[in-house]
Chains A and B, each alone.
Chain A
Amino acid sequence: MAILEVKDLCKTYITNKRQNNVLRNVNFTVEEGEMVAIMGPSGSGKSTLLYTVSGMDSMTAGQVNFRGKDISKLNGKKLAELRLNEMEFIFQQMYMLRNLSVIDNIVLPARQSKANTLSAKEKLERAKELMRKLGIIDIADNNINEVSGGQLQRACICRSMINSPNMIFADEPTGALNRASSNEVMQELSKINKEGTTIMLVTHDTKVAAECNRVLYIVDGNINGEYTVTQGDHRKRQRGLNNWLLEMGF
């Protein structure tokens, strides 16, 4: 069953009286439980696509249905509720509130959500459980400037999971991390996906994309190709993806 349906999506910016068509009639579907990567050259519209389909940015034309709801018809308040309860985000910049401890940052969306009916204590327990799972429970009470980038990104993943969203959007989640941290983060995302959460991410890194089920290749605002990642070990998956990307001119 499709969790995200994108039909004829267009996004146009007007800068200095010049029209810039960033997305041109984009069509694709993401099935529930899938992990989809968006790849493409710099400036191809990857991040814009991610932000537009997640309702963080407005679309110029087209339709985006998230779990059957046309997000272009939702007002700011409804979109905020949707982001709080049904979808979550992970960014390249690991933004957290600097005056809150790591665990308080993680528990924050749960405390804000009215749909999350757990008690304050249960929410705190869930945050701890997530941190335990991602191996960062030791830094729960730390300030955010006392932890490493990898730990912080894992904390951001915990925050994105706290309200048990249906889908996670991630924009270059490993972009600011070293190789070791990047591997750790991707392992966690894969685990979350296997547990049933749909993930859509933007990346330049084939190693990251090889963890996904499917890769959408975007050039100049058009989806030029779609690749289903072959089964097998990681090396094999990455090799297959690399070959396809070479064919696409990446």
Chain B
Amino acid sequence: MFFDILKHDIKRKKTMNIIVLLFVILAVTFISSSVNNLLAITNSLENFFDKSGVGDFITFEIGNSTPSAKEVAKNTDGVTEIKTEDCIFVTKCEFGQEEIKNSIIIDSLKNSIQTFFDQNNMEISQVNDGEIYVPQTILDDKKADIGDSITLTVNDISKTFTVKGVLKDAILGSRFVGVKRLLVSDSDYQSFEKTDKANLQKMEINFIKTNNSPALKKNLVVCDSILNADDRSLFYYTYVMEMIVAGVLLVVSVCLIVISLVILSFTVSFTLSEEFRQIGIMQAIGIPDRKIRFIYMVKYLAISVVGAVVGLILSFPFGNMLLLRVSGSIVMTYSNGALLGVLCAFVVVAAILLFCWVSTRRVKKFTPVDAIRNGSTGENYKKKRIIHFNAKPVRPVLFMAVNDVLSGIKHFLIMLLTFFVGISMIMVCLNVSSTLQSEKLLGWINMRECDAAIATTSSSNYMVPNGREKLKQEIEELESVLEEKGWKADCFTEVATNVILTKGDTKVKTTGIEGINTDTDRYAYIEGTAPQNKNEIAITRTTAEKLNVNIGDTVTLQINDEEKDCMITAIYQTMMFMGDSIRLYPNQSYGFEKLVGLFGIQIDFSDNPSDSEIERRIQALEDIYPDDKIMTAAEYADDCVEGTGDVVQGVSNMILLVVILIDILVAVLMEKSFLTKERGEIAMLKAIGFKNSSIMVWQALRIGIIMLLAVLLSIIFANPIGQLTTSGIFKMMGAENIIFDTDILKTYVIYPIIVFTATVFSVFISALSIRNISSNEINSIE
């Protein structure tokens, strides 16, 4: 008998059972792949760094200083080994006609301490002359591939190479690291070394083994030639974006599991209310409630086990697909995937069974009398209707739909919640993406707002004794060119240099940012006022906390060999340099020989041109400077945060697909349950002359109204939810106060319309089965 009932249930509620099964599959696929990916990335990073032999602490040094990083490390307690390698800065790097604007260094196997890997995770043991290995991020950016040609120039020497493979470089391989490394053969490397020694710029990388990183970091503060010096664990953070993708997927998975459980609860309740007669009869013939519940437990055990197995199988290709992007830069060595996947699947099955057991408690409330009295256990006075037809000039199907929603909002809550969570997730991602791609971002990362920008060539061009003058002159020349075209504009840029701040006994090495051809008033500050002279600085919260200082405090500022006392006048935020920097007053006197960074040249047109005019001027500038990359302000902002906006946009699109899928499944499930419950009413409507199309519109309208409510709620709450969920990530990147720059059309109109249309259309398709309900069924419907 048990199995007869089970068979009957599986047959009758085919669609609902399939939807529950699909949810289990989705939940297991997502949770297994995201947990696996997150662990795979973090574990593989550890292994990757170990295999690469990068030690515990890494320093990057440009030029000579006294003392050098190596000397300081030697005299620091806990340091057991120091290995050093030199890399050559390239003056120009071109893929065909397209120049790579990153700072590029070249290395060779003989010269290198670090171990490199290729696209197949194999250690690179040989590079032939004329061949080169290039990081995946460069190939992606330039849409280049293995086999393409690349031309490198170091001062007067130019050589063309064929891309042999992808270079997996632990410390410089992430898209968040500005300096990129290319690997050439030993003889090619040596031929570049033969260039004019005076103009040959090198970077020294030290790989240090130590058990006392904090002490080493503190001691290294005195080395003013250090570009960057950090414990290797901090380099893991450069792969944060890869982890964020896996993290977002984990959040989606948790939402999916919650939705699956809610759907399950709904399905169980619906099934029980449909089968009160069978349950009543079973009770009447003496079958205990426990055994009746067992029938449903068996059914959901079967569904969840099948779903878990299928989901687990799917999680492997799905996880690998997600890892594709990451595995281009990291050597993936994680191998516990299967075991962890099984564990995740087991957790999902256990959660479903537990929930099912709790949901079937309702069986206890049924009595044999229910079966006899057709489910009626007495008077049932519901709340009065909220709305009435009266004389309102409203279409009956619309009225019926609105009335149904208002009369039984509880029945629609699952849908409302699911739609709301899904649409909110999309909106939050879109808000983050549009903010990261917005020109307003410039203000929030302490850059001056502008209309356009020109990507500069490598900073090494200006790291010469008269570099400051050379840069200023080039900016003035650009202003003249623009003026000749009739476009009066302010042109300016930013340079970054290493500085040391001292307050009492605390010394902090950080990055000093100086605007060239602009003044400090043009930047946004969280607190305080802009520095007004060379003895005033603005500071980020991160740096201020390291030094334990605040606005009004005086610190000693050391740039190169020059030392002076400066007062802190403002606090600002930036997502660059991991939020650790200070802003200097312009026209400082230090030379550019030890610059650590040069930003693009920004253009602020004085005549407030329209967007289309700016676009036109950018096109004209592209003709004047064909070798340079000319960007809009928004493109420049995205460039400054290393294209993070694009990554988030990709995540948004992925979430959109998942949300559409979930919404369709939930909507179809609910619609099928409504059709079962309302079969009599539908037959009656047909009998009194309602057309199939009108009844289908009524059914679809209800879901449409819920979707509309969800969209409205999401519009209201997307911002606070976004602030709540993403502030941590932004803070980690150095920005504590980000106000989303919403692309209203895309976020509040286009994407919701896509979800709305897909969901309501799927409901309409499900409602087509209304055509099979005959009006003469009315007297035979229970």
Binding site for B on A (CB under 8 A): 47, 51, 56-57, 76-77, 80-85, 88-89, 91-93, 95-101, 103-104, 107-109, 111-113, 119-121, 124, 141, 143, 145-146, 159-160, 171-172
- Distance between A86 CB and nearest chain B CB, rounded to angstroms: 9
Instruction: Report the bound CA distance from A51 to B384 in whole Å.
Output: 35
* B779 at interface, CB cutoff 8 A: yes
Q: Which one of B384, B399, B404, B691 contacts A76 once the chains associate, using CB atoms below 8 Å? A: B691
3 nearest A-B pairs in the assembled complex, by CB-CB distance: A84-B689, A95-B684, A83-B689
Chain A residues near B688 (CB-CB < 8 A): 83-84, 88-89, 108-109, 159-160
Query: Do the beta carbons of B384 and A85 come within 8 Å of each other?
Result: no
Instruction: Report the bound CA distance from A51 to B683 in whole Å.
Output: 13
* B692 at interface, CB cutoff 8 A: yes
- Binary per-residue interface labels of chain B (528-560) against chain A in the complex, 1 for a CB within 8 Å, 0 otherwise: 000000000000000000000000000000000
Instruction: Report the bound CA distance from A124 to B393 in whole Å.
Output: 12
Query: Do the beta carbons of A80 and B779 come within 8 Å of each other?
Result: no
Q: Which chain B residue shows the least CB distance to A47? A: B779
Chain A residues near B689 (CB-CB < 8 A): 80-85, 109, 112-113
- Distance between A139 CB and nearest chain B CB, rounded to angstroms: 13
Prevailing SS type, chain A contact patch: helix
Chain B residues near A85 (CB-CB < 8 A): 689
Q: Which chain A residue shows the least CB distance to B775? A: A56
Instruction: Report the bound CA distance from A143 to B396 in whole Å.
Output: 18
Instruction: Report the bound CA distance from A99 to B778 in whole Å.
Output: 18
Report the number of A-B residue pairs with Cβ-Cβ less than 8 Å. 112
Central interface residue in A57, A80, A172, by most chain B CB within 10 Å: A80
* B385 at interface, CB cutoff 8 A: yes
Query: Do the beta carbons of B408 and A80 come within 8 Å of each other?
Result: no
Query: Do the beta carbons of A141 and B681 come within 8 Å of each other?
Result: no
Binding site for A on B (CB under 8 A): 380-382, 384-385, 388-393, 395-396, 399-400, 403-404, 407-408, 680-681, 683-692, 694, 774-776, 778-779, 781
Chain A residues near B392 (CB-CB < 8 A): 120
- Distance between A15 CB and nearest chain B CB, rounded to angstroms: 14
**Can you list 27 pairs linking A and B with CB atoms under 8 Å apart?**
A51-B775, A57-B776, A76-B692, A83-B687, A85-B689, A88-B688, A89-B687, A89-B688, A93-B779, A95-B683, A95-B778, A97-B685, A99-B385, A99-B403, A104-B403, A108-B400, A109-B688, A109-B689, A113-B689, A120-B389, A120-B391, A120-B393, A124-B390, A143-B384, A145-B382, A160-B688, A171-B779
Chain A residues near B684 (CB-CB < 8 A): 91, 95-97
- Distance between B335 CB and nearest chain A CB, rounded to angstroms: 57
- Distance between B401 CB and nearest chain A CB, rounded to angstroms: 10
Known: A93-B778, A97-B400, A111-B395. 11 other contacts (CB 8 A): A47-B776, A57-B774, A83-B689, A84-B689, A91-B687, A91-B778, A99-B407, A100-B385, A111-B399, A112-B694, A143-B381
- Distance between A113 CB and nearest chain B CB, rounded to angstroms: 7
Query: Do the beta carbons of B388 and A141 come within 8 Å of each other?
Result: yes
- Distance between A165 CB and nearest chain B CB, rounded to angstroms: 10
- Distance between B397 CB and nearest chain A CB, rounded to angstroms: 8
Instruction: Report the bound CA distance from A143 to B692 in whole Å.
Output: 26
Query: Do the beta carbons of A93 and B781 come within 8 Å of each other?
Result: yes
Evaluate whether A108 and B396 lie within 8 angstroms (CB atoms) in the complex, with A56-B687, A80-B691, A85-B689 already known: yes
Chain B residues near A141 (CB-CB < 8 A): 384-385, 388
Chain B residues near A159 (CB-CB < 8 A): 688
Instruction: Report the bound CA distance from A141 to B383 in whole Å.
Output: 12
- Distance between B702 CB and nearest chain A CB, rounded to angstroms: 10
- Distance between B676 CB and nearest chain A CB, rounded to angstroms: 15
Query: Do the beta carbons of B385 and A143 come within 8 Å of each other?
Result: yes
Chain A residues near B399 (CB-CB < 8 A): 104, 111
Q: Which one of A91, A93, A104, A171 contacts B389 once the chains associate, using CB atoms below 8 Å? A: A104
Q: Which one of A82, A145, A160 contacts B380 once the chains associate, using CB atoms below 8 Å? A: A145
Q: Which chain B residue shows the least CB distance to A113? A: B689
Evaluate whether A124 and B776 lie within 8 angstroms (CB atoms) in the complex, with A91-B687, A100-B385 already known: no
Q: Which chain B residue shows the least CB distance to A89? A: B687
